[in-house]
Structure 1
Amino acid sequence: MINILSNICIGLGLVFWFWGTFPLLGERSVLFKLHSLSIADTLGSMSIIVGLLFRIPREWPLLILALISLAIWNTVLGYVLAYCSSTGGENA
């Protein structure tokens, strides 16, 4: 049962990874494309790490650290992208 659940999580992560690449082909802005790609990549990576957590539970400290790092890194990256795309409060 644990192996099936692990395979489902890893498969779901791969689906998220590939699903996140489809907006790159659209006509939207670069920031929209980066946002959707980063969200799908983070969800996919987290799902794969949860699948690995089910498969190799003896490595839970490192896998939990990886989950926390992914969540923090995605948040920081989102703030950096938003800051870089803003006008900085100037009315030009």
Structure 2
Amino acid sequence: MINFLSYALISLGIVFWFWGTWPLIGDRSVLFKLHTLSVADTLGSMSIMVGLLLKIPSEWPLLILALISLAIWNTVLGYVLAYCSSSEANHE
């Protein structure tokens, strides 16, 4: 059962990766594309990490560190991208 759940989470993560990549070929704004990509990439990567945590629980310290790093890095990167794209940042 744990193996099935692990593979299901890893597969879900891969689906999130493709789901976030698909809007890149659309006609929407660059910011919408970046937001969709970053959210889907974060969810996909975290899902894969949890799947790996179930698969190889002996590596839990590294996988938990990877989960925390993903959450912090992608949040900070989102704020930086939002600031850089705002009209106030472009006029200074």
TM-score, normalised by the number of residues in structure 1: 0.94
Structure 1 position 30, deviation (Å): 0.7
Q: Does the 8 Å contact 2:84/2:90 carry over to 1? A: no
- Alignment length (residue pairs): 91
Ranges in structure 1 where 5+ consecutive residues have no aligned partner: none
Structure 1 position 33, deviation (Å): 0.4
Q: Which residue does the alignment assign to 1:30?
A: 30
Ranges in structure 2 where 5+ consecutive residues have no aligned partner: none
Instruction: Give percent identity, aligned residues only.
Output: 78
Q: Does the 8 Å contact 2:83/2:89 carry over to 1? A: no
Partners of 1:82 and 1:25 lie apart in 2 by 21
CA RMSD of aligned residues (A): 1.5
Whose helix fraction is larger, Structure 1's or Structure 2's? 2
Q: Which residue does the alignment assign to 2:65?
A: 65
Structure 1 position 54, deviation (Å): 0.2
- 2:51 aligned with 1:51: yes
Partners of 1:90 and 1:25 lie apart in 2 by 26
Structure 1 position 89, deviation (Å): 7.4
Structure 1 position 78, deviation (Å): 0.7
Structure 1 position 31, deviation (Å): 1.1
Offset from partner CA, 1:42-79 (integer Å, 9 cap, x none):
10000000000000000000000000000001100110
SS of corresponding position for 2:88: coil
Partners of 1:80 and 1:35 lie apart in 2 by 12
Alignment of 1:80-91 (within 5 A): 80-88=80-88
